[in-house]
């Protein structure tokens, strides 16, 4: 199993540009999520999905869009990039859900991250 | 709402000495608690988890943590630090409603 894969690993954007960060998992996990990691702030939840066709907002959703058309894929779209979106982005997946979030007993599997710089 | 506080943003130890990384949490429900490790330029990897079974939990690479409900703590320990333990460590609290990450503790191991 490849686990959770993310592309690209690095990206530089200009303010106002749009782009999509790709995330895929091959473990048939129901729950998938996107986090951003900023120094001293841990990981903050952007959007999440409890299954194909179901997405919801996390703690910091503004400026981002997601969709989940298949169990495997969960892309994150930046609509109009801003310097405040400079960050490291992690996709994660886990087995099962609580209905409205992850199964609280299960491990999250993380991708290797995408380092995004917005100039 | 639940929250998690990692009491030290940076811990420095010498190789071969004990490691203590502190985590306090608050939760309205019976939570699960996790510790994840992140090596430089890598994703997060699970070290150990507590899910209401034994309060002393053993993880990978010699780490362990003790769930203390009365103190709302879940501190991570290791008897003897190794150079390869240098990384960032995250405490996570999860219940049926939410999952929250601590801000992280950077562990430095000196030779």
Each residue's pLDDT tens digit, A25-77: 999 999 999 999 998 888 999 999 999 999 999 999 999 999 999 999 999 99
**Which has more pLDDT, A22 or B52?**
A22
**Which of B43, B99, B103 is nearest residue A113 as measured by Cβ atoms?**
B43
Q: What are phi and psi for residue B27, nearest 5 degrees? A: -155, 140
Quick one: closest CA in B to A107, which residue? B46
User: In Å, how far is B34's CA from the nearest CA of chain A?
Assistant: 8
Rounded Cα gap, residues B28 and A15, in angstroms:
41
**Which of B9, B92, B95 is nearest residue A40 as measured by Cβ atoms?**
B9
For residues B73-87, give the mean pLDDT.
97
* Alpha-carbon separation of residue A67 from A10, A75, B49 (angstroms): 22, 7, 30
pLDDT on residue B38: 94
pLDDT in tens, B10-64: 999 999 999 999 999 998 777 899 999 999 888 899 999 998 778 899 999 999 9
For residues A93-109, give the mean pLDDT.
84
């Amino acid at each position: 199993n490849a686990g959770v894969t993310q592309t690209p690993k690095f990206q530089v954007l200009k303010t106002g540009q749009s782009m999509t960060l790709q995330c895929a998992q091959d473990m048939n996990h129901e729950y998938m999520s996107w986090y951003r990691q900023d120094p001293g702030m841990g990981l903050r939840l952007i959007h999440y999905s409890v299954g194909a066709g179901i997405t919801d907002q996390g703690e910091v959703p503004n400026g981002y869009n997601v969709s989940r058309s298949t169990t495997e894929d969960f892309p994150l779209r930046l609509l109009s990039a801003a310097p405040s979106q400079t960050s490291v982005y992690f996709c994660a997946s886990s087995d099962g859900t609580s209905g409205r979030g992850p199964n609280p007993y299960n491990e999250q599997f993380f991708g290797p991250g995408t380092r995004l710089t917005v100039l | 709402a639940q929250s998690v506080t990692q009491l030290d943003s940076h811990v420095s130890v010498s190789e071969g000495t004990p490691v203590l990384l502190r985590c306090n949490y608050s939760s309205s429900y019976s939570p699960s608690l996790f510790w994840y490790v992140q090596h430089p330029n890598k994703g997060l990897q699970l070290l150990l988890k507590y899910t209401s079974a034994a309060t002393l939990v053993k993880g990978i690479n010699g780490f362990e943590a003790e769930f203390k409900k009365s103190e709302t703590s879940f501190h991570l320990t290791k008897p003897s630090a190794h150079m390869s333990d240098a990384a960032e460590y995250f405490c996570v609290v999860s219940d049926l409603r939410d999952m929250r990450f601590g801000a992280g503790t950077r562990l430095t191991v000196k030779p």
